[in-house]
Each structure stands twice: as C-alpha cells, then as structure tokens.
Amino acid sequence: MNIFLVYGGKSAEHDVSILSAYSILKEIYYNYYTVTPVYITREGKWLKGNEITDPSQVNSSQELILEDIGEGLHFSDIPKENTIVFPVLHGPNGEDGTVQGLLEMLEIPYVGAGVLASATGMDKIISKILFKEAGLPIVPYFQVKVIDWHVNQEMVISEAESTLSYPMFVKPSNMGSSVGISEAKDRNELVEAIAKAFEYDRRVLIEQGVQAREIEVAVLGNEDINTSVPGELVKKQQFYDYESKYISNEVVPQIPAKLSEEITKTLREYAARAFMAIDGNGLTRVDFFLTADEEIYINEVNTFPGFTNYSMYPRLWEKTGLAYGDLIEEMIQLGLRRFKARQ
Ligand code: ADP
Ligand code: MG
Ligand code: MG
C-alpha cells in the first residue's frame, strides 16, 4: 500500500508539522507500506520527494524540507488504488478541513478527521457552541468580529469588562500552538491582545481566564470511541505559550495525571462527548481545565494534535497500552474503514 504523507503547510505550525512527520516516518510499518513524502512549502507549493521504503532513509527532520530536491505534485499523480493520504498538518490550511475537502473531491482515503470535524474543531467559537449544546462546561466568553472592533473599540472593551474579569484570554478563532493568543491583565493589555489576535483571524474570542491545571485526553476511533488515560501538562508558568510548548520545553507531561477516579471518569466521558459533538473521526486530543475546587471546563479539541515522540497524544496512548507504531497503524485502518463506510 502507498502512503502519501503530507506535511509542512501554509500555517504558523509549519515547523511543528515537520517534526510530527519525522517521528511518524520513523515508526510506520514499512513491511506494509511505501511512503511518498509530500512537503507543502510555507508559500503553499506541494512538492513530492522520493519514495521511502525503510526508516533509515530518513535521517533528520531537516531532510524533509524538499524545497530544492522535490518535484511539484500533480494531484493526478496520486494513485486511486491501494493508497491513503496521511495529512500531518497542524493549524489552518490543513487541520481545518481544507485539505480534507480536497481529498474528498479526489475520492482518496485519508487519515484523521473529515471536513466537518476538522473545520469545527479548528474554530474555537464554533466548537464552543457545539460543546455547550452537548452539555459540556465551557468558560464564559464572547466573540468579536473585526468589523465591530474597527467600528467601536470602546463598546467591545466595555462588554468584556462588564461580562468577564481580568485576567482574560484573547484568541484568534482559527489557530493553534498558542499563536496569536495573549493573556490580558488590564485594559491596556486587553486592547493590545485583541489587536494582536486580529492579525491572525477576522473573528476573535475573549475568554474568562482561569487558574487551572491543564489535563488532556486522547480519543481514537470512528463510531467506536476509545479514550486514553488523562495526562497533565505540569507547567512552570500559567500560560502555556508557543515558546514553552516547543522551544524551552518547559512543560513536563504527567501521565496518567494525578486525579481521583471520579474526575478521570468524567474527563474521559466528556472527551468522548466532545468527539461526537464535532462529528470526530480517527483521532482528536481533547483539552481541559481543572480548577483547584475541581471545576472542569473543556478548553478545546485538536483534530491533528502534535505527533512527535514527545507529544502528548501518542504518549497518552503509550501509557494506555498502545505503542506509537500500533497507534499509527490504527489511524491508517480507521481512515480506510471510514472511506469504505461512506461509499
Ligand atoms: P491553542 O489551540 O493555540 O493551543 P488554547 O485555547 O489551548 O489554544 O490556548 C493556549 C494556552 O493558553 C492553553 O494551553 C493555556 O495555557 C492558556 N489558556 C487558554 N485559555 C485560557 C483560559 N481561559 N484561562 C487560562 N489559561 C488559558
Ligand atoms: Mg489547539
Ligand atoms: Mg491548546
């Protein structure tokens, strides 16, 4: 079978995607698969590399940048038989339903969430609406459109101050890896935070900040939903930003998280419910806040979470009893089964 492994992408999470792709390429079961790496440049050009039939052909994540050696990919080059596309893309233009829609049009099976789950999962405003509808607890928030911000900044600020209290968190609706997100502790910071978030999206959320532990649960399946043990990101700082996530490695995962049985059960049940609420397929990581007085809030879902050997999603499965290579194999099988079921 052929795997077309697509990574990179026109997204702020381009580099993380390369690291995820590298780890996956090292662990795919090559006795069943031949892999064609497909690198999407930051400008959005699709480049195809040479076939990989053995993990030793990949020696560093740097080699996955095919800018000088890859050939342009024509979608008609992707064989229709015995092929699955593996989109290892994080963030807008990949994790958000765009690439998934393209693959639906081409009638090629692919790994992971479909168009609807990808699009709703990436959009923090829409996913909050769906979570609320599904009876899942969310933090108070409201949304701001860029036009409202341009027309009447004071009204936006006064709405924030009358419905929420500082600190607040301001986020672009479509983004990941903490890009464009800021914590605002006072009015000046709020104005700055909103302006910054609008650099990334036309729609922004202002959320109530909470002092909480961050707990994550991995979901795997299609109609049959499996959840992992919960894991905790033990933080040295409150705000888990891009720097602490990828550069300074300041976050230590604790798996399983130290939680009562009851909280664990609730989190796993909420994770499955969130997966259903977005019409999930394949995989999703569901992220929660847990306050000191044991209040649970669902924060967000990530339909293609970080996937390096050190990332939370594969580590959660490892500690639940599913090794990295077996996890990748299961994701491929789920993608194939989903494709068959829709025909
Ligand atoms: P992303 O999709 O970029 O990961 P998140 O919504 O998970 O976006 O926000 C990134 C990080 O910001 C979280 O992991 C957490 O550390 C912090 N954060 C986000 N929202 C809140 C909030 N309402 N209260 C406290 N911290 C928050
Ligand atoms: Mg996210
Ligand atoms: Mg997050």
Distances (CA, A) of 337 to 101, 111, 270, 342: 18, 10, 25, 9
Peptide bond into 172 cis (omega under 30): no
What's the 177 CA to ligand 1 centre distance in angstroms? 9
Six token digits for residue 248: 């300074």
Residue 262 CA to residue 80 CA, distance in Å, equals 47
Residue 291 CA to residue 188 CA, distance in Å, equals 27
What is the amino acid identity at position 147?
I
Phi, psi torsion values for 65, nearest 5 degrees: -85, 105
- Report the chain's mean pLDDT, rounded to a whole number: 94
Quick: pLDDT tens for 138-197: 999 999 999 999 999 999 999 999 999 999 999 999 987 788 999 999 999 999 999 999
Quick: pLDDT tens for 279-305: 999 999 999 999 999 999 999 999 999
Residue 16 CA to residue 97 CA, distance in Å, equals 19
What's the 305 CA to ligand 2 centre distance in angstroms? 8
pLDDT-based confidence at residue 321 (cuts at 50, 70, 90)? very high
What's the 297 CA to ligand 1 centre distance in angstroms? 12
pTM of the model: 0.95
Contact 47, 71 (CB under 8 A): yes
**Using CA atoms in the order 269, 274, 279, 283, what is the torsion angle rounded to 10 degrees?**
-80
Distances (CA, A) of 13 to 46, 93, 171, 277: 16, 10, 16, 25
Ligand 1 atom nearest to CA at 139: 23
Those residues whose beta carbon sits under 5 angstroms from the ion ligand 2 are 176, 300, 302
Tell the burial category of 72 from Cβ atoms under 10 Å away from its Cβ (0-12, 13-18, 19+).
Answer: exposed
Who lines ligand 1 at CB under 6 A?
139, 169, 171, 175-178, 181, 207-210, 214, 239-240, 287, 299-300
The protein residue whose alpha carbon is closest to atom 8 in ligand 1 is 178
Q: Is 305 in a helix, a strand, or coil?
A: coil
Contact 138, 131 (CB under 8 A): yes
Residue 103 CA to residue 335 CA, distance in Å, equals 12
Distances (CA, A) of 171 to 16, 168, 195, 209, 338: 20, 10, 10, 12, 33
Quick: pLDDT tens for 13-71: 899 999 999 999 999 999 999 999 999 999 999 999 999 999 999 999 999 999 988 89
DSSP string, 120-165: HHHBHHHHHHHHHHTT-----EEEEEHHHHHH-HHHHHHHHHHH--
Q: Identify the residue whose tokens are 């933080």.
A: 235
